[in-house]
A and B are shown apart, each in its own frame.
Chain A
Amino acid sequence: MTVKYVNFLLIILVFISCNQVKTTQKIETQRIAIDQDTATDTLIDTFLTPYRNSLEASMNEVLSFSVAEHKKTDGELNTAVGNLMADAVFERCAPILKKRHYIDLDMVLLNHGGIRAPLPKGAIKMKTAFNIMPFENKVVVAQMKGSVLMKLANYLTKAKRAHPISGMELAITRNGTIKTLRIQGKEIESNRIYFVATNDYLYKGGDRMDFFQKSEAVFDLDYKIRSVLIDYFIDNDTLDPKRDKRFEYTN
């Protein structure tokens, strides 16, 4: 009891004599740019050097060779670099889907905006894969009815953009009428179930690909698009992708 009383008194003393509460009188703010005028801290730089060197060496590792440069702007409805990406996803992912889920992949759909750099001429390095696909998006396979696949075809027809596809043939008029539509060489059956590989960004509605929301199921292959490219580059020592007739204008 006595002890508590003493404590209480002391606290009161502190508050009377000591004005504990502090108030802000003034605030100054500044935004400071980090640029060439800021010296490099040698301790940090020395610490970083082995990491940087090791990373550089890995990024400069040559994985393949490309006959020519291919940009995503080289072509109206399909491009060589886009075809390479979509075909690589098909080639690498179809066997995984078959092995894990006993399912045959029907087609691949990626997005034109997702090609972030050209495929350069000459040496194709690890960093090429990082440049083309800097994001971490993964391959997912959507299970959908033929009727939903029709919506996908209508989306492509309306968008008139070189979104990379593989496994589908689509010919449209400039007015936006579908003249040819085949999947694995066959007409679409509206009640059949199809399997479409894409990336998780598009599956979630990216680029307004809302039709994916009508999927019946989805399989996550736990395989990044970038890793698909790296594995594809390693498997193919020469790259010579072409524009073709998979998605084209017709009369």
Chain B
Amino acid sequence: MKRRTFIKNTAASTALLSVGGIALSCTEQEVKQITILHTNDVHSHIDPFGPNDGRNANKGGVARRATLIQRLRQENPNTLLLDAGDIFQGTPYFNYYGGELEFKLMSMLDYDAATIGNHDFDNGIDGLYAQLPHAQFDFISANYNFKNTIMDGHVAPYKIFVKNGVRIGVFGLGLELEGLVGKDMFKETKYLSPIEIAQDMSRILKTEEQCDLIICLSHLGYDYENIQKVSDRSLARSTKDIDLIIGGHTHTFLDEPTVETNTIGKSVLINQVGCYGLYVGKVDFYLEPKATFFSSQSLRV
């Protein structure tokens, strides 16, 4: 009830303030390009691999990633930069500086949001919390309940970004920590069913928050032989209204996104760019206004 009042008030005041502006932009019928850039499982790989590092030789490096991202943002300012978790662990940078450097660099690169991977608990939940002041970006996770932990209030289930008038809802999902991370590390973090939470999230983002694009930032893993285990692919098939799942955890190098069909027969893209900052994934959505008069959303108001 409260939420509805809040939405109504916001919508009304927005309408009062900007009805002219919106009407003007709508007459243009312009196609809007939204660019989503993403990384996953960078695992503290701050420096590029050396010339003798096998198949990864001379690849990666955060200072190079910065150049690329700057260029892409110049090409299209309506860009989001996201990370799908496991920021920590993998080089001595993490052992020595505890993740401070990873967060500072991601802030310098102007990341918009990240979700939390299992390795981000490697210095315990207290170790993660201790580095939060260095992160000028949001942590989002919808299926970890941090209520009885030090992280309470520092992680949002979802975040909405508005780029060129396009509402982009991004929610986060993490995998089961039990058996993967010591209980002494994750403490009272509660893991909730990713599929149920994703169904909730997509409904909230689509219906209540009126998002034009819905992105799931997932550390669940791409696919598993054990069909009981929730993966990005099974998640895509069991939900609706998600446009893109940005994955991690399984270090899966996809040349191009996988397309799955959701419960209402629509396509869902799943993308993952391996690990260690060797690649940046780029997904461009081109949206155009659609003639909808009294949609169910407007009647609900």
Which residues does A use to contact B, with CB under 8 Å?
7-8, 10-36, 38-45, 47-48, 51-52, 54-55, 58-59, 127, 130, 134, 136, 200, 204
C-beta contact mask, B271-291 vs A, less than 8 Å → 1, else 0?
101000111111111111111
> B277, A30: Cβ atoms under 8 Å?
no
Min Cβ gap B28→A in Å is 11
Q: Interface majority SS on B: helix, strand, loop or mixed?
A: mixed
Min Cβ gap B50→A in Å is 12
> B286, A51: Cβ atoms under 8 Å?
no
Q: Which A residues touch B210, using CB under 8 A?
A: 20-21
Min Cβ gap A203→B in Å is 11
> A22, B166: Cβ atoms under 8 Å?
yes
Q: Which B residues touch A200, using CB under 8 A?
A: 182
> A41, B63: Cβ atoms under 8 Å?
yes
Q: Which A residues touch B8, using CB under 8 A?
A: 7, 11
> B277, A23: Cβ atoms under 8 Å?
no
CA distance A11 to B16 in the complex (A): 9
> A52, B47: Cβ atoms under 8 Å?
yes
Asked whether B208 is an interface residue with its Cβ less than 8 Å from the other chain, the reply is: no
On chain B, which size bracket covers the interface?
35 or more
- Knowing A18-B23, A20-B292, A22-B212, the reply to whether A35 touches B96 (Cβ < 8 A) is no
Q: Which B residues touch A23, using CB under 8 A?
A: 212, 287-288, 290
The residue in chain A whose Cβ has the minimal distance to the Cβ of B210 is A20
Min Cβ gap B275→A in Å is 12
CA distance A251 to B177 in the complex (A): 48
- Knowing A11-B12, A40-B64, the reply to whether A31 touches B92 (Cβ < 8 A) is no
CA distance A47 to B101 in the complex (A): 10
- Knowing A19-B290, A22-B289, the reply to whether A55 touches B22 (Cβ < 8 A) is no
Asked whether B6 is an interface residue with its Cβ less than 8 Å from the other chain, the reply is: no
Min Cβ gap A113→B in Å is 18
CA distance A209 to B132 in the complex (A): 38
CA distance A48 to B285 in the complex (A): 34
Q: Which B residues touch A52, using CB under 8 A?
A: 47
> B273, A31: Cβ atoms under 8 Å?
yes
Query: B residues 20-47 with Cβ under 8 Å of A?
Result: 22-23, 26, 31-32, 46-47
